[in-house]
């Protein structure tokens, strides 16, 4: 059993969000759902909580009402091995109301923040040649969706 599980609060969209995230990521599945019964703060049959899994990481959702909203202070970091993978996640997570942000960050249609980052970025930023790493950082700061070719080009200058 996973010791720490992200717990995501939604205002009536928990089941929809769970299904959306499972459609975005290849290795994903809904594990369970519990529903509100009689005399509950939401209509009977509405998902109360649910658990889903993305690449082995479990998440729990709750339909808790309008009391709390997501902020960029917490985000999910997605490591991508290729530009194709970056493009896929960026497109899917910004579809239908998501918003692009700077430096590989975006907010999905539910207000949850994501960082879509190519794995090569860490290697380039940690290079022993500080000047080259700095060039990559400067290129990164000008990007929305991260572009592997552009990052590599900045490094190679």
Q: Is the pTM of this model over 0.85?
A: yes
Cα–Cα distance measured from residue 62 to residue 83, given in angstroms and rounded to the nearest whole number: 33
The CATH 3.30.720.100 domain(s) of the chain lie at: 1-66
Task: State the CATH class of domain 70-157.
Answer: alpha beta
pLDDT at 1 over 90: no
> Alpha carbon 56 to chain centroid distance?
15
Find the distance separating the first CA and the last CA of the chain, reported in whole Å.
47
Under 8 Å between Cβ of 54 and 28: yes
The CATH 3.10.180.10 domain(s) of the chain lie at: 70-157
pLDDT at 102 over 90: yes
- Encode pLDDT of 72-100 as tens digits: 999 999 999 999 999 999 999 999 999 99
- pLDDT at residue number 57: 97
- Encode pLDDT of 19-44 as tens digits: 999 999 999 999 999 999 999 999 99
Architecture in CATH for domain 1-66:
2-Layer Sandwich (3.30)
What pLDDT band is residue 9 in, cutting at 50, 70 and 90?
Answer: very high
């Amino acid at each position: 059993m996973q010791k720490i599980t992200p717990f995501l609060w939604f205002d009536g969209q928990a089941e929809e969000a769970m299904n959306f995230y499972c459609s975005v990521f290849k290795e994903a599945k809904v594990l369970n759902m519990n529903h509100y019964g009689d005399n509950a703060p939401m209509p009977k049959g509405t998902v109360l909580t649910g658990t889903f899994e993305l690449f082995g990481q479990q998440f729990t959702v709750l339909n808790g009402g309008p009391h709390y909203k997501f902020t960029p202070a917490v985000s999910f970091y997605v490591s991508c091995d290729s530009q194709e993978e970056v493009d896929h996640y960026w497109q899917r997570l910004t579809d239908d109301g998501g918003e692009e942000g700077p430096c590989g960050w975006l907010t999905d249609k539910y207000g949850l923040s994501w960082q879509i980052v190519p794995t090569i970025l860490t290697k380039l930023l940690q290079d022993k040649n500080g000047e080259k790493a700095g060039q990559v950082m400067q290129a990164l700061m000008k990007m929305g969706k991260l572009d592997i070719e552009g990052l590599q080009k900045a490094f190679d200058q």
